[in-house]
Structure 1
Amino acid sequence: MHRLIEKGLMFGNLIRVDSPVLVDRYNRALVSLIGKTTTQDAFHIDISGYSPEIGDEFDDDLYLNHNGVNRQFILLTTEQQTAPLLNAQFSTSRGILRQFIRENQAQLFALTARDAVAGELVNSVYEVGKAARLFDLRKIRIEADTTGGTVRTAKKLGKMIDQFKSKPNAWFDDVLIAEMIGLAKETGDVTRNPVALKEMSFDQANFWTAHFGGLYVFRGVEHPAAISVGPKDALGELPIAYTMDFKDRAAIAKFLQLNDLVEPVAKARGIDAGAILHQKMDFVVAEVASTMGEDLTGATRRDLRRLGRHYAKLLPEEWQGMAALARWAEEDGPWPRITSDHPAYFYTLRAKPHADADLVNMLLSELSPLDIRQLFICHKEAFYRAYATWPDSKKSYVADFLEREYQVDKAGTREALFGHEDPMEEPQVQHPEPVAPQADIVERVGPWGAVRRR
């Protein structure tokens, strides 16, 4: 992983903590949250305040996320909102933390100027020994305060001020006045500079979780379902109508279509579909070439085309399907019939514009793992796991490619791949419209095929 770290592709944008004052504040927050302190005098933290160096010291990568459910956080600066979230257990956690920091920017800036802010993403579930427990996660709310309790104290002072204003003869209540003066020394003038943090809660309808080998839960769609990365039977009974795993390709494809979650890359307006498909094809060639022992260090697109010709007979169906689609997009070739059974199918899709587009692209990246660029952008945990298994030459090629093609223009690359425009006109040759199954069949096996129903 050193190659990724050196190129800023892993642990990038972390916040360095090396000031004795900030280290002391961090330790006070650690004591308030987990009853421990660190001996480190310099370390890096992510958006939640998690430090990989301290994780190594404690031999616990979840020291701020006990049981991987209720994530705790430590804020030393509002600049943490630009940092990544390491060891993510839920796809929604980073977005929640970013929104919390953004919505309380001024208050947090003032609070962290004097102390660390410690808090927690709170829900009613403390452990997920069974997969069914994940479905008890309905709403996440945020609790936060400084280690000195400034927010709590300010709230108490505010109530006293209201009491002082409304109570008859309050000017003669020496005890109340003395308490207000004492609290004001800790909080400052809360009437002019409020230090209250917004009470925020977030619905947890659709999300990915790392628990149980990876599970996508879609409850906030017209046809709800859970999609497991591993075998669905290992999950036990789930409180949702339909459960699928990655072997149920046809069912997943129909789920995505019925809920109108995806669109073909080749039909998306405003992008160079041919260029995107060719790049995906290059990644497949790189996989084949590395398997055959080719040295991919410094490989260019021309090198990959040469390797593609050399290993033409070994190129898998993923490459063949995307090549046929590229011929349609660029050379007026026939519209290829690529069904969900075809290995290239999920490589040809991207999320439509909707609130859960990132989650859907994350799912698609796991269903098309040879597309290393999409895997890196959409699902870094899966990317790092895959990277660790690759031969060294492929690691070198992938790291060089991402540094050269993605790091220099992250926003532009994302826009080119996932930016949403009105779809193009339907091609002349289309997939036949699916015939609606009879009602009793739908009731028996579900709208997307023979998958397990509760």
Structure 2
Amino acid sequence: MMRLVRRGLMFGNLFEVRSPTLVERYNRALEHLTGRRTALTDFHVDISGYSPEIGDEFGDDHYLNPNGCNRQFIVLSTEQKTAPLLNAKFSTSRSILRRWMDENEAQLFALTAKDAVAGELVNSVFSVERPNDLLAIRRIEVEADTTASTVEDGKILQGKIDRFLQENDAWWDDVLIAEMIEIGKKTGDITRNPVVFTHNSFEQRNFYTSHFGGLYVFRDLDEAAVISTQDIEDVSDWDVEYAMDFTQRNDIATFLAANNLVEPITSARGRDVAAILQQKLDFIVVDTAAELGESVENPDRRALRQLARRNLKHLPREYEGLYLLWQWARGQGDWPRITSEHPAYFYTLRASDHADKDLVNMLLAELAPLDVRQLFICHKEAFYRTYAGWSDAKKDYVAEYLASEYMMDKAGAREELFGHEPAMEEPAPARAAQKRKPVEQPWGRRREDDDDDDDDDFDEDDRDIVQRVGPWGAVKRR
């Protein structure tokens, strides 16, 4: 993993803690939450205050996340909000923490000037023993305070201030005034520097969790569904309409299309689709060559073509399907028919423009693991897990590519792969009310040229055609 660490691809953008004051504040908060203290004098923390160095010291990477369902956090500075969230059990945890920190930035700035803020993302369960425990999680409450209980004191002081302003005789209440002065010594002037947190409640609708080997939960639909990365046998007690696993590709593809969650990458306007497909092909070629023991150090376009020719009979079917689509995108071949049963199918999709597009791109990345760039961008935990099993040659190539190509322009790469034209309003949530009727051809027919239309434009009928993926088949209904 040191290849990734040295290039800033792992443990990057963490907040550094090295001053004795911050270390002591962290220890007070850590002892408040867990009853433990660290002996380290400098370390790095993520957005939640988790430190990989302290995790290594304790031999416990989940020291701030007991039972994996109520994430605890320590805030030393508002600068932490730009850091990643490591060892996340839920895909929504970082976004909830970031939104809470943005909404309460003034309060956090005032509080962390003197102390650390310790808290917890509280949901309705204390442990996850079965899938239905996950389905019971609907709302996340953020509870936080300093180790000196400044927030709680602030609430008490605010109540006394309200009483002082509203009661006619409060001016003569010496006891009330004395209490306000005494509490104010600890909280400061809360009228200028507020210490009471707001916006503490967040909904958790559709999400990914690493529990039970990895589950994608889609509840915010007329008919809820769970997609498991592992084989599932018995779903009789799952409180969900549909349950699928990664072996049921046709069912997953139909679910995604029926709820308007995906679109073909070929429908992306203004994008160099051929270049996107070429990169996916290159990753597959490098993967195959590296597994066969060939050198893949800094290959150029010519070297990649030679690797593909030499190892043609060893290339997987994913390469075959994407190559046909690449030829079509360059105007050098017919429109290919790629069904959901074809291994290349999920490589040809991206999330459509809706509120859960990051979650859907995360799912697609795991369904198309040979596209290592998309896997790294959308699902880092899965990327690190698969990276550990690669050959040294492939590790070198991927680490160098990501550092030299992706990290140089992360925003541009994300926009090219997943971006959508800006809308006038917020993206609509993906709901079953937006369903389209599946059509008969998974990839449809190739559109005939029309002199009155631009060659690169797709009308609505064409968009319907490319959405079809297949019947529900063996979906397990409760």
Superimposed CA distance per residue, residues 134-176 of structure 1 (whole angstroms, 9 cap, x where no aligned partner): 1111111111111111111111011111112233432332221
Look up the match of 1:391: 391
Structure 1 match to 2:310: 310
1:120–1:144: 8 Å Cα contact kept in structure 2?
yes
The aligned residue for residue 440 of structure 1 is none
Counterpart residue number, 1:448: 472
Per-residue CA deviations over 1:65-112 (Å, capped at 9, x if unaligned) read: 111000010000111111010001000001011111111111111111
Q: Which residue does the alignment assign to 2:263?
A: 263
- Shift in Å, 1:313: 1.9
Assess, with a 3 A threshold, how the Cα gap between structure 1 residues 48 and 208 changes in structure 2: closer, same or farther: same
Q: Is the Cα contact below 8 Å between 1:373 and 1:402 reproduced in 2?
A: yes
Q: Structure 1: how far apart are the matches of 2:287 and 2:304?
A: 10
Q: Does 1:154 align with 2:123?
A: no
For residues 138 and 464 of structure 2, what CA distance do their matches in structure 1 show? Answer: 40
Report the Cα distance in structure 2 between the residues aligned to 1:332 and 1:198, rounded to whole angstroms.
58
Would you say the 8 A contact 1:48–1:75 is kept in 2?
yes
Corresponding residue number in structure 1 for 2:374: 374
- The answer as to whether partners of 2:373 and 2:402 remain within 8 angstroms in 1 is yes
| Deviation of the 1:194 alpha carbon | 2.0
CA-CA distance at 1:327 after TM superposition: 1.1
How far 1:250 moved relative to its partner? 0.3
* Alpha-carbon spacing, 1:152–1:392, altered in 2? closer, same or farther (3 Å): same
Runs of 4+ in 1 over 3 A off after TM superposition: 421-424, 426-436
CA distance in 1, matches of 2:340, 2:145: 50
Equivalence for 2:328: 328
Shift in alpha-carbon separation, 1:152–1:173, aligned structure 2, 3 A: same
Superposition deviation, residue 187 in structure 1? 1.2
The residue type equivalent to 1:36 in the other structure is R
Structure 1 stretch 299-308 or stretch 91-100: which is displaced more? 299-308
Show the counterpart of 1:81: 81
Q: 1-side partners of 2:458 and 2:222: how far apart?
A: 26
Correspondence for 2:426 = none
Residues 1:217 and 1:396: Cα distance change in structure 2 (over 3 Å): same
Please state if 1:240 is matched with 2:240. yes
Cα deviations across residues 301-353 of structure 1 (Å, max 9, x unaligned)? Answer: 33222101111122211011011111111125211000000000000000001
Q: CA deviation at 1:21?
A: 0.2
CA contact (8 A) 1:139 1:201 kept: yes
Change beyond 3 A, Cα 1:76–1:236:
farther
Q: So what's the TM-score if we normalise by structure 1?
A: 0.94
Q: Is the Cα contact below 8 Å between 1:223 and 1:259 reproduced in 2?
A: no
What CA distance in whole angstroms lies between the structure 2 residues aligned with 1:306 and 1:105?
55
Aligned counterpart, 1:145: 145
Contact 1:223 1:255 in 2 (8 A): no
User: CA separation in 2, counterparts of 1:217 and 1:4?
Assistant: 30
Listed as ranges, the gaps of 5+ residues in structure 2 are: 423-455
Please say which of residues 246-255 and 306-315 is displaced more in the overlay: 306-315
Give CA-to-partner distance per residue, 1:398-437, whole Å, 9 cap, x none: 000000110000000000100014994159899599699x
The one-letter amino acid paired with 1:418 is F
SS of 1:134's equivalent? helix
The superposition leaves residues 18-74 of structure 1 with CA deviations (integer Å, 9 ceiling, x where unpaired) of 000000000111111111111111000000000001111111111111110000100
Q: Give secondary structure in 1 for the equivalent of 2:233.
A: helix
Q: In structure 1, what is the Cα distance between the partners aligned to 2:462 and 2:48?
A: 51
Greater shift, 54-63 or 326-335, is seen at: 326-335
Distance 1:419 1:86, change over 3 A: same
State the AA in 1 paired with 2:89.
Q
- After superposing the two structures, state which structure 1 stretch, 43-52 or 326-335, moved more: 326-335
Aligned to 2:342: 342
**Aligned partner letter, 2:66:** H
Moved more, 198-207 or 281-290: 198-207
CA distance in 2, matches of 1:432, 1:31: 56
Q: 1:301 to 1:222 in 2, by over 3 A?
A: farther
Partner of residue 186, structure 1: 186
Q: % of aligned pairs identical?
A: 59
SS of the residue corresponding to residue 179 of structure 1 reads helix
The change in CA–CA distance for 1:114 and 1:234 in structure 2 (over 3 A counts) is farther
1:118 is aligned to 118
Counterpart Cα distance in 2 of 1:342 and 1:326 = 16
For residues 189 and 420 of structure 1, the distance between their equivalents in structure 2, rounded to whole angstroms, comes to: 46
Residue 299 of structure 1, CA deviation: 2.5
The equivalent of 1:442 in structure 2 is none
Give the match for residue 176 of structure 2: 176
- What is the distance in 1 between the residues matched to 2:95 and 2:464? 38
Q: 1:356 to 1:430 in 2, by over 3 A?
A: closer
Q: Which residue of 1 aligns with 2:48?
A: 48
Partner deviation per Cα, 1:196-255 (whole Å, 9 max, x = no partner): 111321111100000000000001124421000001226663100110000000000000
State the Cα distance separating 1:259 from its structure 2 match: 0.3
The 3-state SS of whatever aligns with 1:64 is coil
CA RMSD of superposed structures (Å)? 2.0
CA distance in 1 between counterparts of 2:192 and 2:167 reads: 21
